[in-house]
Amino acid sequence: MKPARLHLLSEEKRLLWQLRMKGPMPRTELALSLQVSNSALTKLSHNLISLGLVEEREALEAPTRGRPTIPLGISPQGGFAAGATVHKGVLEIALVDFSGEIIALASEQIGTPSPVEFAAIVQRHLDLISVRHRLLGQRFFGIGVGLPGSPRTRKGDSWHTVKELPGWNDMPLGQMLGDALGTPVLLENDANAAAVAEYYLSSAGRKASTVVVILLGYGIGAGVIEDGRLVKGGFGGAGEVGMLYPGHLPRPSTLDLLSVLGDAGCRIDSVARFDELTAGFEAVVEDWLDRAAGQLEVLVNSAIAWFDPEDVVFSSPLPASVVARLAERLNAMPLCWPAERPGQIRISALGGSAIALGAALLPIHAATTLVAG
Q: Residue-wise pLDDT tens for the chain (373 aa)?
A: 778 788 899 999 999 999 988 889 999 999 999 999 999 999 999 999 999 999 998 876 655 555 567 899 999 999 999 999 999 889 999 999 999 999 999 999 998 899 999 999 999 999 999 999 999 989 999 999 999 988 877 776 778 888 888 889 888 898 999 999 999 899 999 999 999 999 888 876 677 889 999 999 998 999 999 988 889 888 788 898 988 988 788 999 999 999 999 999 999 989 999 999 999 999 999 999 999 999 999 999 999 999 999 999 999 999 999 999 999 999 999 999 998 888 999 999 998 899 999 999 999 998 888 754 4
Q: Which pTM was predicted?
A: 0.91
The answer to whether 154 and 175 have CB atoms below 8 angstroms apart is no
10 Å Cβ neighbour count for 355? 37
Write the single-letter amino acid at 296. Answer: L
Instruction: Check if the beta carbon of residue 351 is closer than 8 Å to that of residue 322.
Output: no
292 in the Ramachandran plot: left (φ > 0), alpha (ψ -120 to 50) or beta?
A: alpha
Q: What is the DSSP letter of 131?
A: H
Q: What is the pLDDT of residue 66?
A: 53
User: How high is the pLDDT of residue 159?
Assistant: 85
- CA dist 333 and 294 (Å) reads 9
Please name the amino acid found at residue 110.
Answer: I
Q: Which amino acid is at 318?
A: L
Of 7, 23, 33, the C-alpha closest to 100 is: 23
- Find out whether 107 and 92 touch, Cβ atoms under 8 Å: yes
74 sits in which H/E element: strand 71-74
Give the pLDDT confidence score for residue 372 in this predicted structure: 47
Residue 50's identity, in one-letter code, is: S
Q: State how far the alpha carbon of 246 is from the alpha carbons of 43, 147, 148, 213, 252, in Å.
A: 56, 20, 16, 21, 11
- The Cα 13–Cα 265 span in angstroms is 54
231 CB burial (10 A radius; 0-12, 13-18, 19+): middle
H/E element, 15: helix 10-22
Helical (H) or strand (E) element with 125: helix 115-132
184: closest CA among 366, 372, 369? Answer: 366
The region that residue 265 occupies, defined by phi over 0 for left and psi between -120 and 50 for alpha, beta otherwise, is left
Pick the closest to residue 268 from 318, 314, 219 (CA basis): 318
What's the pLDDT at 63? 56
Closest Cα partner for 144 from 368, 363, 309, 320?
363
pLDDT score recorded for residue 221:
94
Q: What pLDDT sits at residue 65?
A: 57
DSSP 67: P
Q: What's phi and psi for 118, nearest 5 deg?
A: -60, -50
CA distance 79 to 292: 41
Cβ-based neighbour number of residue 232 at 10 Å: 19
User: Three-class SS string for 169-215?
Assistant: CCCCHHHHHHHHHCCCEEEEEHHHHHHHHHHHHCHHHHHCCEEEEEE
Q: What is the DSSP-derived secondary structure letter of residue 339?
A: T
Please state, in angstroms and rounded to a whole number, the distance separating the CA atoms of residues 102 and 105: 7
Entry field: residues in the chain: 373
What pLDDT is stored for residue 67 in this prediction? Answer: 59
Identify residue 366 by its one-letter amino acid code.
A
pLDDT given at position 341 = 85
